Each structure stands twice: as structure tokens, then as C-alpha cells.
Amino acid sequence: MHAFWRSLARNRLAIAGGVVVVCLVAAALLAPALAPWDPHRPSIKQALAAPSAAHPLGTDQLGRDVLSRMLYGARVSLAVGFVSVGIATIVGLILGSLAGYHGGTVDAVVMRFVDLMLVFPSFFLLLAVLAFLRPSIWTIMAVIGLTSWMRVARLVRAEFLTLKEREFVIWSHAIGASTLRIIWRHILPNAIAPVLVAMTLGIPAAILTESGLSFLGLGVQPPHASWGNILNEGKDAIEIAWWLSFYPGLAILVTVLSYNLLGEGIRDALDPRLRQRGR
């Protein structure tokens, strides 16, 4: 663990990404205290007001403060990222563990299901599912999570195929340990490193997906704010109100880039070969 933190600390880009991520999470959690205005309160007299001291990021078509909506939108976007990745991780861990540990028919069935899911482009699969469901934040979380678990399942399966042949697992079998205990206490803790990396890299992907769905009008529905639906509202006024598209787009860019930098840093720090190369 000490080697991991030391390697991560040497990666300046990963540290910068981590600092930005912490600031974004803090801003989302403190949105009620930081927002200067009620994000849902319209003011027709202030409609499409340019950035100013009163409204640092301007206002939208209904006169709502963009900064306040951005802060509350961060709560939605980050919640979608964390919850959907949590769902995907749980599903991937269960199916990947079963496939890797049991092998044979179980492995074949699970991996053919994974291949079938990977055949369909994820975004179009999301659109197809949401066409039959009422768009809401909970629907978005569930659908993104249930259509993005395949990477985790394949990573866990690969780790289990290697670890189940190790001496400590064979010894656990010999003393009569149950299958559940062997998986939970001995194999899974040693297979969790690539899963942590996949989770870190999966959060920005989920945020980007939610933003795309909200931009198309299939994600979080007004009056609730998300970065995607703020972008959607701004596209009709982009020639006269550039701030409605620029600031949420910049927030999405910075968030995705920061998570990716942090995820790449964690991956490099967990890889002993890369740690030795960096010495």
C-alpha cells in the first residue's frame, strides 16, 4: 500500500485530476450553500443576461442563474456516475466471479451473454430501453449501470482464472472451506485492483452518457438541472447566449478529463511493472 501511494504521488497529472475531482464532489455536496440563487426560480426580466457580478455565469431563457443550476447539476451528474458505476460493478463482480471460478459451462454461458451485450452499441441500447421507460434520474442510473457491467465482468473473470490456481486457494479447498468463503475471503480481495481502476474510469463515461441523453431530452427532465439539459437548453440560443453552452460543456470536459487522469494514475500505481520502471 505504501508503494502504491508513493507511486501515485509521483504522478502529477493523477494528483491534479484527483484534486479537481475532490473539488467537484465538494462543490456538489455544498451546492445549497454555494449557490447564490434558487436554481429553479425564474426571472423573466433577467432572461439571457450576460455574465455579471450578480450572475457570474449569466442566466438562461427563463432568467435562472446558470451558476446555481451548474452546482445543482453537478450533484445530479456525479450521482448518476457513482450510482450507475456501483450497479455495473456489482453485476460485473457477480457474473465475472461465477464465470472465472466455476469455468466450464457456467463460464461459457456468462461470456456468451457478455459477448451478446457487447454486440449492441451501448448508447443505442440505452436509447432503445429509454424509449419504453419514463425518463428520470433513477431510470438513467439503472439503465446505464445495467448496460455497462461487461468490462468489469471480463476483468474479474480474468483475475479469477489466474487466482483460483494459486496455492492459497488450493489449500483453502483442501481444508474444506466453502465456495462462498473462498471467493469472498481469498480470491476477490486479490482481484479488486483492476476493478477499482475500471470504476474510476467508468464514472466519467457514465457522466458523459447521462449528459448525452439529457442533451437529447431523454435524460434528467426539467426543471431539475443537469449539465446535459443545460446544454440542451443553450443550443437554441447559442448565437446570443454563448455561456449557456460554454460553461456546462467546459464542466463536462474538465470532469471527464480529471477522472481519466486519476484513473490512469491509479492503474499505473497498481501495476508493479510500471512502478519498477518509474524508479
Domains and CATH numbers, the chain: 2-37+57-277 (1.10.3720.10)
The three three-digit cell numbers of residue 205, written as one number:
463515461
Q: State the pLDDT confidence band at 46, using cuts at 50, 70 and 90.
A: confident
Place of cell 471467493: 183
Number of neighbouring beta carbons within 10 Å of residue 237: 16
Distance CA 257, CA 65 (A): 26
Residue ranges of alpha helices (H) inside 30-65 are 31-34
pLDDT, position 25:
92
- What does each C-alpha distance from 188 to 103, 184, 196 come to in angstroms? 16, 6, 12
- Asked if 74 and 24 count as a contact pair (C-beta separation under 8 A), the reply is yes
Q: What is the pLDDT of residues 27-44, one digit of tens each?
A: 999 999 999 898 888 888
pLDDT, position 272:
55
> Which H helix or E strand runs over 215?
helix 188-215
Q: State the pLDDT confidence band at 269, using cuts at 50, 70 and 90.
A: confident
Q: What is the pLDDT of residues 226-239, one digit of tens each?
A: 888 888 888 888 88
pLDDT, position 254:
93
Number of neighbouring beta carbons within 10 Å of residue 2: 6
Higher pLDDT, 248 or 215: 248
Flag whether pLDDT at 209 surpasses 90: no
pLDDT, position 23:
93
Contacts for 59 with CB less than 8 Å, ≥ 6 apart: 43, 46, 47, 48, 49, 65, 66
**Which whole number is the average pLDDT over 66-83?**
90
pLDDT, position 258:
93
Distance CA 260, CA 201 (A): 6
Q: What is the mean pLDDT of the chain?
A: 85
**Which whole number is the average pLDDT over 77-89?**
91
Higher pLDDT, 187 or 94: 94
Question: What's the whole-model pTM score?
Answer: 0.85
Place of cell 456468462: 110
- Asked if 160 and 101 count as a contact pair (C-beta separation under 8 A), the reply is yes
Percent of the chain with pLDDT over 90: 29
Distance CA 39, CA 186 (A): 49
- What does each C-alpha distance from 54 to 58, 64, 250 come to in angstroms? 8, 12, 21
Distance CA 67, CA 58 (A): 7
Q: CA triplet 98, 102, 108: central angle to 5 degrees?
A: 80
pLDDT, position 214:
82
Flag whether pLDDT at 279 surpasses 70: no
pLDDT, position 172:
79
